[in-house]
Amino acid sequence: MALSLVCLLRPVLGHALVRQLSCPRVLTTARVTTPLLTHQNPQLTPTFARFYATKKAKAKGKGQAAKVNINSALVEDIIDLDEVKGDMTAVLNTLKDDFTRSLSIRTSPGALDHIVVTTPDGKFPLNQLGQVSMKSPQLIVVNMTSSPEATVAVTRALRESSMKLNPEVDGAIIKVPLPKVTREHRENLGKLAKQLSNKAKDSLRRVRSNAVTQVKKAKEETSEDTIRLLEKQLQQMADNMAIDIDKQLASKTKELLG
């Protein structure tokens, strides 16, 4: 009787055993896969951290060109970098001189020192041709007794200056009434400063362009890497000088507008 009962239950017990053996695989799979979806997995967390760090590093470095510093002695047979730098510096110095000569709002005898007078014998600073003195806060007098033949040239230079002067000639004496420094006059000088700085940047670009052209002429005898590095060096030099031009403009504009 017992044997018959065992025989009858054998199929049922077999199916149960199969189900029991298959369940651990499902449970094991669940136990393994579930942590993969959480942030507690120690193997995945560093991976994501490294990924995000890389993205941030790329974003931070985006747009920042690597600086180049070529020894001028190593490329002197291609181009004289020191000479190019000198030409770029000359552009900046010319701008400074233009700012001093053309953008003055000072009310003192020295306010006319920057004016250059063109005569048949050459160009001279006004204070070398006549004696400049301040008669009042609104009047400067230029005594031309020592160089009367230059009176006409001095008068013309005063009238053509950016200071909007209207000189009056009385024999060898030139009277120069000083206009009241209005807000409009200051703003006009500020606009002129901007024009002069743009002109300086145009000159700077020409210096760089001429230098790049000279470098490219040596393309057949020089490696492409060297040519490319030289072009980057020249661009970097021009960019640095352009920054100095902007600083000069900002300083002058602040001085003019008060």
Q: Please tell me which residue, 22 or 215, carries the higher pLDDT value.
A: 215
pLDDT band at 111 (very low <50, low <70, confident <90, very high): confident
Q: Please tell me which residue, 15 or 246, carries the higher pLDDT value.
A: 246
Tell me, what's the pLDDT at 148? Answer: 93
Over residues 33-49, mean pLDDT: 40
pLDDT band at 40 (very low <50, low <70, confident <90, very high): very low
Residue linked to tokens 């009385």: 170
Tell me, what's the pLDDT at 55? Answer: 46
Over residues 37-47, mean pLDDT: 41
Half-sphere exposure of 79 (CA within 13 A, CB side): 28
Task: Measure the CA dihedral 183/185/187/190, to 10°.
Answer: -140
Q: Please tell me which residue, 130 or 74, carries the higher pLDDT value.
A: 130
Contacts of 218 (CB under 8 A, 6+ apart): 77, 78, 79, 227
Q: For the beta carbon of residue 151, count every other beta carbon within 10 angstroms.
A: 20
pTM of the model: 0.58
Over residues 120-144, mean pLDDT: 90
Whether the Cβ atoms of residue 72 and residue 234 lie closer than 8 Å to each other: no
pLDDT band at 38 (very low <50, low <70, confident <90, very high): very low
Whether the Cβ atoms of residue 189 and residue 98 lie closer than 8 Å to each other: no
Provide the 8-state DSSP code for 38.
Answer: S
Across the chain, what does the average pLDDT equal? 78
Tell me, what's the pLDDT at 25? Answer: 46
Over residues 21-40, mean pLDDT: 41
Q: For residue 247, is pLDDT > 80?
A: yes
Q: Please tell me which residue, 76 or 126, carries the higher pLDDT value.
A: 126
Tell me, what's the pLDDT at 103? Answer: 78
Tell me, what's the pLDDT at 10? Answer: 56
Over residues 49-77, mean pLDDT: 59
Q: For residue 94, is pLDDT > 50?
A: yes
Q: Please tell me which residue, 45 or 107, carries the higher pLDDT value.
A: 107
pLDDT in tens, 185-232: 788 889 999 999 999 999 999 999 999 999 999 888 888 898 999 999
